[in-house]
Amino acid sequence: RHETRTGVKAMTYADMKIEQSAAKTTVWFTLDI
């Protein structure tokens, strides 16, 4: 189950990064408008 744990951790980290990027994009998009 170690592989699964690591995979989930990596996926969660990736999701956090994607959410951060999306939030930044939304902020810049709002400022642009």
Q: pTM, whole model, 2 decimals?
A: 0.42
Residue with tokens 């902020």: 27
Burial 16-28 (b: 16+ CB within 10 A, else e): eeeeeeeeeeeee
Is 60 exceeded by the pLDDT of residue 17?
A: yes
Is 60 exceeded by the pLDDT of residue 32?
A: yes
> pLDDT band at 1, cuts 50/70/90?
low
Rounded to an integer, the average pLDDT of 3-8 is 76
Instruction: Give the sign of the dihedral formed by CA 11, CA 17, CA 20, CA 26.
Output: negative
Is 80 exceeded by the pLDDT of residue 2?
A: no
Q: Where are the alpha helices (DSSP H) in 1-33?
A: 2-32
Rounded to an integer, the average pLDDT of 5-25 is 80
pLDDT at res. 33:
56
